[in-house]
Amino acid sequence: MHKVTKIGVLTSGGDSPGMNAAVRAVVRTGIYHGIDVYGINRGYSGMVENDIVKMESRSVANIIQRGGTILKTSRSKEFMTPEGRQKAYNNLKALGIDGLVVIGGDGSFNGAQVFSNEFDIPCIGIPGTIDKDIAGTDFTIGFDTAVNTAVEAIDKIRDTMDAHDRLFVVEVMGRDAGYIALHSGIATGAENIIVPEAKTDIEEIIKSLTEKEKRKKLVNLIVVAEGGEFGGADEVGKLIKSRIPTADVRVCILGHIQRGGSPTCFDRLIASRMGFHAVECLMLGKNNVMVGVVNNRMHYTPLNAAVKAKEKFNKDWLKIVKILAS
């Protein structure tokens, strides 16, 4: 066993449902093993500004079901500078913190990797992002909740689509990754899904919509990731309207509703599991890795590999979409 006496935990980047469950698991696992755990508020900003508090078991009572993050999150420009990181290191050193658990996405892991290379603080990453865009884990904390929120919203939109014979273009989150669009689109029976990872044949979509209109199939759903090649649902809606003027097109952007809310059972489970194993990694001296779950087993990816490689996008899914929507 590697001797760790004090560890810090922070949440960084965009918030995701289940982050609180991960914080709770880190705090309670640490305390169980006789380790002092410190909560760093507002991510790397709090590390630079010394906004760090010692946490007890009761500090994380009754938070497993809450969305967002009790430690709050922010993006720190100062931490990106060597001076900022030196300041952060001095603050940790003054408290005797000798290990760090970072809950966030690839930008957060990048910061942890740089920080760990510069100083003697081992870091463990826990993937907390609704986008599911990190290599080395089948799921990220918050993805399942975000997809379920999107599905629930799209199901409600479909009711009004059916009532009015409308074509709806629904935009979900995912600037660089189309997983929320893909999963929610398949689950709600979307006729088309537009994602950043795949080239979209807009002419084929227009042709298909025109044929459906001739057959009087006027109810159509297109789910678009915000980072799709056309720049989002507004642009897709305008494009369709310009090509098929008779179509009754409506656009709905789901936005930040997908980030909030109580985490699903699945997100609470993986967050608890990852938080527990993150502390064990520090104790075993397995440093600078991201804790993930692959094929329901714990999987450890070097932080720099989790940052560099994106999760591979399976194009077979888009074939499924096409066949099931025909």
pLDDT, tens only, 207-264: 888 877 766 666 789 999 987 778 789 998 999 899 988 888 999 999 999 999 999 9
Binding-site positions: 14, 24-28, 75-76, 105-108, 129-131, 158, 166, 173-175, 189-191, 215, 217-219, 226, 250, 256-259
Q: 183: pLDDT confidence band, cut at 50, 70 and 90?
A: very high
The pLDDT value recorded for residue 218 is 64
Q: Who has greater pLDDT, 33 or 211? A: 33
Give catalytic status of residue 248 as yes or no.
no
Q: Who has greater pLDDT, 318 or 44? A: 44
Binding-site positions for ATP: 14, 75-76, 105-108
Q: How far is CA 33 from CA 52, 77, 120, 320, in A?
A: 21, 35, 22, 48
Share of the chain above pLDDT 90, in %: 68
Asked if the model's pLDDT at residue 147 lies above 80, the reply is: yes
Asked if the model's pLDDT at residue 5 lies above 90, the reply is: yes
Q: What is the DSSP string of 150-202?
A: HHHHHHHHHHHHHHHT-EEEEEES-SS--HHHHHHHHHTT-SEEE-TTS---H
Average pLDDT over residues 262-277: 98
Q: 206: pLDDT confidence band, cut at 50, 70 and 90?
A: confident
* Sign for the pseudo-dihedral over CA of 232, 235, 238, 242: negative
pTM: 0.93
Closest CA relative to residue 9, chosen from 101, 99, 107 = 101
CB 251 within 8 A of CB 194: no
Average pLDDT over residues 187-192: 92
The pLDDT value recorded for residue 120 is 84
Options 15, 98, 131, 133, the catalytic residue: 131
Asked if the model's pLDDT at residue 84 lies above 90, the reply is: yes
Q: 121-138 pLDDT, tens per residue?
A: 999 999 999 999 888 999
Asked if the model's pLDDT at residue 1 lies above 70, the reply is: no
The pLDDT value recorded for residue 300 is 96
The pLDDT value recorded for residue 220 is 86
Give the residues across from 79 on adjacent strands: none
The pLDDT value recorded for residue 281 is 96
CATH 3.40.50.460 fits 145-259, yes or no: yes
In CATH, what is the architecture of 6-142+263-308? 3-Layer(aba) Sandwich (3.40)
Asked if the model's pLDDT at residue 59 lies above 80, the reply is: yes
In the chain, ranges of CATH 3.40.50.460 domains: 145-259
| Count of Cβ atoms closer than 10 Å to residue 284 Cβ | 12
Q: Who has greater pLDDT, 102 or 310? A: 102
Interatomic CA distance for residues 136 and 299, integer angstroms: 7
The pLDDT value recorded for residue 309 is 60
In the chain, ranges of CATH 3.40.50.450 domains: 6-142+263-308
- Residues 13-33 as b/e (b if ≥16 CB within 10 A, e otherwise) read bbbbbbbbbbbbbbbbbbbee
The pLDDT value recorded for residue 217 is 65
Q: Where are the alpha helices (DSSP H) in the chain?
A: 19-32, 43-48, 82-95, 106-118, 143-164, 179-187, 202-214, 233-243, 265-284, 303-308, 316-324
Interatomic CA distance for residues 36 and 199, integer angstroms: 50
